[in-house]
Amino acid sequence: MNTIFSNNPPGATEILQQKCIAIAGCGGLGSNAAVALTRAGVGKLIIADFDVVETPNLNRQHYFQSDVGQKKVATAARHLKAINPDLDLTTHDLRLTPENMSPLLGPADLLIEAFDRADQKQWLIESWSALCPDKPIVCGNGLAGLGATNSLKVFQAANIYFCGDAATESSIGLCSARVAIVANMQANVAIELLVKGSAS
Amino acid sequence: MTVADALKAMNYDFPLITVVLNEKPIPREKFDATTIPNHAIIKAIHICHGG
């Protein structure tokens, strides 16, 4: 067993190594969630994003100055592989749509929703729920502004898990810590669902 | 009462909203056509921009 995970909770690594998580979007939520899931020992990740790294992204997304101008999925792949070279990683450099998501994301055991726009979040939730009703989708919902840490919650409806405050919109600004908290809430919920079968 | 009726009655006028009725997600295009049964549990979640 890879010694990277020697400090993991007993029994968790063996389960996570057999699991596949898809991440739709590699921005503030997706890039941070991907790092957390990789560090936790998830065996396989599928990541999808069409965008390139831009300087303003660096206030919250897991990229660096040397990544600016490069494709997000390719850059994320380098960072994730630098954590765990044995990670089974599939990247999709494209814009996800209701029409193409099935073959790309369907093989996953669980989906992390990490889109930016609310209309995109909505179609992804509806499409995944119709395509894979028995597989969880863990969404980032309401992560803008500063502070108000206690307002960040996990809310479950069917197999949909919402992480955030369900209120703040990105128009008020996005800050590193709050975005990362929600991204890591998503990763934590995903890990718990896959290891324990339910989330508390 | 339909899902659309319930959202209107609750003043849930968020432009983007996910609805789960008795643990089953209801697509937006079916809000007008989905009737809420007696003793149903309905959850409505406002979807926010940001990610």
Task: Give the mean pLDDT per block of 10 residues along chain A (200 residues).
Answer: 90 98 98 98 98 98 98 98 98 97 97 96 96 97 97 97 96 97 98 93
Task: Compute the Cα dihedral for A151, A156, A162, A163 and give only its sign.
Answer: positive
Q: Do A143 and B16 touch (CB under 8 A)?
A: no
Q: Do A169 and B20 touch (CB under 8 A)?
A: no
Please tell me the predicted confidence (pLDDT) of residue A1: 52
ipTM of the modeled complex: 0.91
Q: Do B51 and A28 touch (CB under 8 A)?
A: yes
Q: Which of A28, A122, A170 sits opposite B16 (nearest CB)?
A: A122
Distance CA A137, CA A161 (A): 6
Instruction: Please say if the pLDDT value at position B13 is more than 80.
Output: no
For the structural domain made of A3-196, what CATH number should be given?
3.40.50.720
Q: Do B47 and A121 touch (CB under 8 A)?
A: yes
Instruction: Please say if the pLDDT value at position B14 is more than 80.
Output: no
Domain boundaries, chain B: 3-46
Q: Cβ(B24)–Cβ(A157) under 8 Å?
A: no
Q: Can you give the pTM of this predicted structure?
A: 0.96
Question: For residue A117, what is the nearest residue in chain B, using CA coordinates?
Answer: B49
Q: Do A143 and B27 touch (CB under 8 A)?
A: no
Contact list, A171 vs chain B (CB under 8 Å): 49
Please tell me the predicted confidence (pLDDT) of residue A164: 98
